Chain A
C-alpha cells in the first residue's frame, strides 16, 4: 500500500512539470502582460520601460527557466495586479472553492443516486424516460444559463435565497445546485447503465430465487457492485467540477479560486494563473488518488501493489 502511494505521488510530478510549460506557452507567448500594465496613452518608450522592469524583454526560454527555478523553490512569483505573492492569494480563496465543490458533490450525489437507481429499476418506464431526458437536457444547458435562471426564480421572484456572494450560509445553495446538477446528469446515467448490467447477472437472479427481498437485492448485492464505475466517473468529474467553478463563481460572485483565475487570465497575471492552475491540478490528482483507494473499500477483493 505504501509502495503504491509513493509511486502514485511520484507520478504526479511529470504532469505538474508539463503544466508549467503549457501555461507559460499559452499565457506568455499567446499574450502580452505589458499591455495591461500601462495606461492607454503610454508611449513606445514607456511600454518598453515597463517591459524591461518586469523582465519581459528577456528571451522566452530564459523567462521560463527563471520562473521554473522560482517554482521549484516554492515561489510562484508576485501578482502584477495585486503586487503581492501569488500563492497566498490563491490559497486565501481555496476554502471557498473547496466548500463549493464539496456542496456541489453532495448535491450531485443526492440527485444522481436516486435518479440512477429508480431509472434502472423501472427501466423503460415513464420515470426512466424522465430521468434520461432530464439528464440529456441537464448536460446540454450551460452552467451560466442555469445559474442565471435559478437567480431569477429563487432570488428575484420568490426572494427565498440570496442572489450572490458568500455573506450567509444560504448563499451556497444556488451555486451548489448549478454546479452539482450538471455533473449529476452524467453520474445518474452511469449509475443507471451500471445497475442495468449488474441486475442481469446470474448472482442477482440466484439471490431473487432464494427469496432475498428486493431492497436487499438492490442495496446489498447490486448497488455495491455497480458502484465501481460510478466512483471512477465521480472522481473524473472533479476536474470538470473545478472547471465549472470558474464560470459558476463568476455568475454568483463567489469569492473562490475560479473567479480569481478568470480575472487573472484576462489580464495575463501569469503568476496567479500559474499558482491557481497548479493548485487545481493538485486537487484533481489527490481526488483521483482517493478514488483509487476507495476501490478497496467498495470491493474488498481489490488489493494495491
Chain B
C-alpha cells in the first residue's frame, strides 16, 4: 500500500472514530426507574402517568431522605411532604393567617385544651376514610418514636382524645399560645392508619399515604420523585396531573434545565443568571421573601462546653462598637438588593414583629465605634470571626463585615469555612469564639423559636449573663405560655430590645430568594417560597 493510500485509510478510520464517538449514546440502555418500595401495592397507583402537557417538573438542590413527614425536617422535604399530606390546620402562605384544613373548625376550650371538628368525606389515597383514629394514630406515632427527628417538636401534646369519629380534643402539657403554629409544623401530615399499621407489622418499606393533592407514584432516591394528581382531592382535583421533583445539585445545571424546558421551576437562581433566565423566551425570575435572617452572633462569656473562653467581646463597649460599625445598607447592596435590613430576627407577619426593628438600617456610626473601642482599652488582640458559605454571597458579606470592623480599629481573624466544617467544628460543639455569622429561619411563624437560644438554659453559644439576660430569660419563659396575644407580642418586642441593648446579636438583613419559572406555569411563590403545587395551573 502506498503512503498516500495508507494516509487515506488512517483518515477514514479517524472519521469513523468520531462518528462512533457520537454513537456512544447508543451504548446506554434506557434506564427504567424502579419503584421505591415493594409495599407500593398498598397504594392505588394511577393507571398511567398523565398526559405530558399536564406534567410539571421541579429542579431541586436535594430531595427528601424520607417520605415519612416526621422523619425529615429539611425545608425541601417539607415541601414534598405537604403535596402528599394534609395537616389539620393550614398556614395561608399569602396572608399568614391560619385556616381550617383537615380540621373543619377548631376552638380553644381552655388554656390547655383545644377541640377540633374534622372534615367529613375526606379519603386517603388508598381509599381509607379520614377520621379521628387517623389523627390519633399519626400524632401518637410521633410521640412514641424518639428516633423521629421531629419527635421533640411534638412533645407539647399531652393527650389526644377522640370525642367522636369526627371530633377530637388535644390537651397540651402547658398553656400553648403557639398551638396552631405547632400543629401545622413539620411532620403534621395526617397518615392513613390501617395501611401504616400494616406496613409496621410487616416491616415493609414505608409508603406515603396521605390525603394531599398528589399521590405517590415512585421514588428513585437522590434522583427523582414522581407524584400523580389525587383526582378525588377534597378541594378538587389539581390541574397538574403529574408532578416530578428532580434532584439537580449543580446550580448551573439546574438553570440550564430551565432554559431548555426540561424543568418548569428551579430554586435559588444566582444573580448572575437572572438576565439569562429573563432573556430566555418562556422563562422568568420571581423573587420571594424567606424567613431567614442573617446575623452576627457574639460570645459574651464562657459556657459549659467552652469553660476556658476569654475574649474581647465580653466587653459591652466592644460589642456596641461592632454594632455601630456595621453598614447594613452597604451589605444589602452587596447582595444585589436581595435583603431587607433588620434589627431583629422576628419578621412580619410573625407575632411580636416591630416596625422599629424591621426594614431599618439601624445606627451606623463608625466614629462613635472608634471612641468606644478606645474607651474599652482595646489592645489590638484578634477577634475570631467564623462564617460559612451556606448562603447567597455569604463569603463576600463576611469579608465586607471584616473590612467594616477593621475600619474602626478591630483586629479581625476571619475564618470562612465550608458549611459541613462550620456545623461540625464550630456550631454544634458550641466552640464559637467572639463572632460567628449565620442565617436562621422561622418556619413556625411564631416568635418562640426566634428567641429560644437566649433562654438561660440554652446560652451555650452566647454565654450571656447579667441583669438584662435574667430579664430576657424570665420574659421568654412567660411569653411561651402567655395566652393573651397582645401581651405576648409586647413581651417578645421587649425581649428583642434586651438582646439589642446588650448587643448579643447584631441582625443584618432578612433574605430574599428566587425561583426561575416557566411562563407556562401559573404559580406564584408564596410568602416563604413554600412549594405547595395543589393550586398550580398550566397556562
Interfacial residues, chain A to chain B (CB-CB below 8 A): 31-32, 34-44, 46-47, 53, 81-84, 89, 92, 96, 99, 102-103, 106-107, 110-111, 113-114, 117-118, 121, 144, 148, 151-152, 155-156, 159, 162-173, 176-177, 213-215, 250-253, 255, 259-260, 263, 266-268
Contacts and interface: CB of A to CB of B under 8 A. Distances in A.
A162 to B, nearest CB: 7
Contacts of B6: 213-215
B10 A121 contact: yes
Interface stretch (B241-249, B376-384, B489-497, B508-516): B241-249
A263 B260 contact: no
B13 A259 contact: no
B250 A215 contact: no
Interface in B104-128: none
A169 B17 contact: no
Interface stretch (B21-29, B46-54, B172-180, B351-359): B21-29
A251 B440 contact: no
A161 to B, nearest CB: 8
B71 interface: yes
A48 B143 CA distance: 19
A233 to B, nearest CB: 19
Chain A facing B: main interface SS: helix
A156 B27 contact: no
A39 B186 CA distance: 12
A113 B25 contact: no
A260 B9 CA distance: 45
Interface in B195-245: 205, 220-224
Contact of B222 (A38, A117, A176, A259): A259
B305 A44 contact: yes
B315 interface: no
B430 A44 contact: yes
A162 B262 contact: yes
Contact of A111 (B21, B224, B247, B257): B21
A99 B32 CA distance: 13
Interface stretch (B83-91, B159-167, B452-460): B452-460
Contacts of A163: 253, 256-257, 260, 262
Give the size range of B's interface with the partner: 35 or more
Contact of A255 (B222, B257, B305): B222
A111 to B, nearest CB: 7
12 contacts: A39-B73, A42-B428, A44-B430, A83-B66, A106-B24, A110-B20, A117-B10, A155-B260, A169-B29, A169-B30, A252-B253, A259-B249
A24 B145 CA distance: 29
B32 to A, nearest CB: 10
Given A82-B65, A253-B248, A39 B149 contact: yes
Contacts of B24: 103, 106-107, 110, 172-173, 176-177
A253 B262 contact: no
Given A111-B21, A114-B14, A118-B14, A171 B28 contact: yes
Contacts of A35: 423-424, 427-428
A115 B3 CA distance: 18
A96 B222 CA distance: 13
Interface in B304-320: 304-305
A156 B280 CA distance: 11
A113 B17 contact: yes
A44 B65 contact: no
B281 interface: no
Nearest to A212: B1
B449 A41 contact: yes
Contacts of B205: 84
Given A41-B452, A266-B420, A152 B256 contact: yes
B247 A213 contact: no
B467 interface: no
B28 A164 contact: no
B413 interface: no
Contact of B440 (A34, A40, A151): A40
Contacts of A144: 250
B428 A92 contact: no
Give the interface centre of B24, B224, B421, B449 by most chain A CB atoms within 10 Å.
B24
A168 B65 CA distance: 25
A46 B152 contact: yes
Contacts of A37: 149
B146 interface: yes
Interface in B413-432: 420-421, 423-425, 427-430
A170 B26 CA distance: 7
A151 B256 CA distance: 7
Contacts of B304: 44
Contact of B423 (A36, A106, A114): A36
B147 interface: yes
Contacts of A113: 17
B1 A214 contact: yes
Given A44-B304, A215-B1, A251 B66 contact: no
Given A37-B149, A43-B458, A118-B10, A32 B429 contact: yes
B58 to A, nearest CB: 13
A165 B27 contact: no
Nearest to B9: A215
B516 to A, nearest CB: 13
Interface string B456-473: 011010000000000000
A287 to B, nearest CB: 18
Contacts of B429: 32
B460 A170 contact: no
B365 interface: no
B428 A32 contact: yes
